[in-house]
Structure 1
């Protein structure tokens, strides 16, 4: 009924950890691994893991040249044999019941896409400890910043809420992917906004995007993720983020602002976003590390 789509590149070392949590999901009968011209042993690692789960079949789609996560998601969905596709990142565990919870909400609420909540694990922390720490969220604030068009990952909420966009681990219908698509423009750098772009198209078409507090993905500690778009130098990451966010706003901002009742002009949205991205890339990491060190005696 559900195919899990996993874009990946040279991440066999993270797949060894997280892929078993995909194989045990209820309602999932297929995993489509899209190897974006990687050079490691991703295929053999995945085959060995899935072999221990006979209920699940593995399909590997391989790119001969690097094409980026957006094209990988699109090609994975096209290759899927099921009508529902769950996109998963290759460095995140899925909590048991993740796929089933998202499917129930997708059907009962007539949603275009549904995600659980993302929990960022700390070094030395177990999944159970990370979930207990996160609870229903850790920040008493709104779960979405409409001026920035950004989710607030740690905001406190319960149940399922409707947002313009959510995180990247979404369940949707294959037909929506084929109709609205992932834009291959986000193919280099850190790929910022590539999953947001698809979700925004759903939102603007009147298809709800939901996030549920009753399902969680758990991101590996950053110390355990050595490669990928989020590991590039901060200045490059910032510049790519600004570039892709400008493209995203140029495409969608006016329709989005009309839909949610925003009055700020496009130029103001671009400048606010650039300021936020500068803070997120350059100021927040050291301030967060200092706060965590003071509170827990840990170095993130």
Structure 2
């Protein structure tokens, strides 16, 4: 894990943005990214939108225009959800990739800081930023949990060690991401980070929160919240059954089920999870003790978390 010599941010960081059916928001997000003083490369993965997103991006930022030469748009044949990020990371040629959604944008200076921190510490695979909710730049509730993370990481990290991360607010080391295979195609979208984080930890990589990295989030009104919650329940159970030792898996399953609203979406999410049991049994691989310790440390906070639940 040798250090990479510092250089211009656009040679070190690619921003990978995924979007679907949010043309106006994608246009605004890309404009903000191209205006950053770090001048990062921006790679948009359009998940098969039918609202003209890709054409509008190319029209507003043609080759030869200011920022246009740093923008690439890839139109996928179908909505791949979070898995579209895998294509983005594979396509990027920079050592680091900053993820972004079409309703988020990075603060000026944050990408340069992230690149410098990753240059300086080859143990780190993921840096997660402080999230400011717009309008008003109000700190997201989950930031307090990240700041007070009980996970024990290696000494000398630039911030608290994490068990998992928030993909839309993180910068990843490309080589580490590719090493463990990226996001699981089975999980699609909704709580997809936990499995990847666990596999990174199992491979010896560190994940941490850095207060001085900042990203803004203005939640889109165009959201499939019911589908997202259903997938999140399924994916949380799938991760738990795939990677946690049996006693821990039983506890986490019990705790999750006890907090779910008694509604149709919860029932469908659980049934989706149960339907995956045949492949889960085939592919189950329990985390090594050093990685399991990270998730064991999070059990109490997961029970009481206001942010990481599926009540809405």
Shared fold by TM > 0.5?
yes
Selected match of 1:73 from 73, 85, 90? 85
Selected match of 1:266 from 232, 249, 273? 249
DSSP-derived class of the 1:163 partner:
coil
Q: Map residues 27-66 of structure 1 onto 2, 5 A cutoff.
A: 27-51=38-62, 53-54=66-67, 57-66=70-79
Provide the rounded CA distance (Å) in 2 between the counterparts of 1:141 and 1:89.
Answer: 20
Provide the rounded CA distance (Å) in 2 between the counterparts of 1:210 and 1:36.
Answer: 29
Query: Does 2:9 match 1:10?
Result: no
Residues 174-225 of structure 1: CA deviation (Å, up to 9, x unaligned): 22222212111112xxx222123222211222211011111211111x4xx1
Query: Does 2:123 match 1:97?
Result: no
DSSP-derived class of the 2:72 partner:
strand
Summarize the Cα distance change of 1:205–1:276 in structure 2 as closer, same or farther, 3 Å threshold.
farther
1:143 paired residue number: 148
**Scaled by the length of structure 2, what TM-score is found?**
0.69
Residues 219-254 of structure 1: CA deviation (Å, up to 9, x unaligned): 11x4xx1324xx333xx5443222111111122223
Selected match of 1:200 from 198, 201, 204? 198
C-alpha displacement of 1:20: 2.3
Residues 240-271 of structure 1: CA deviation (Å, up to 9, x unaligned): 222111111122223xx9xxxxxx53111112
1:164 paired residue number: 163
Q: Map residues 267-282 of structure 1 onto 2, 5 A cutoff.
A: 267-278=250-261, 280-282=309-311
1:244 paired residue number: 235
Q: Is the 8 A contact 1:28 1:99 kept in 2?
A: no
**Scaled by the length of structure 1, what TM-score is found?**
0.71
C-alpha displacement of 1:92: 0.6
C-alpha displacement of 1:60: 1.6
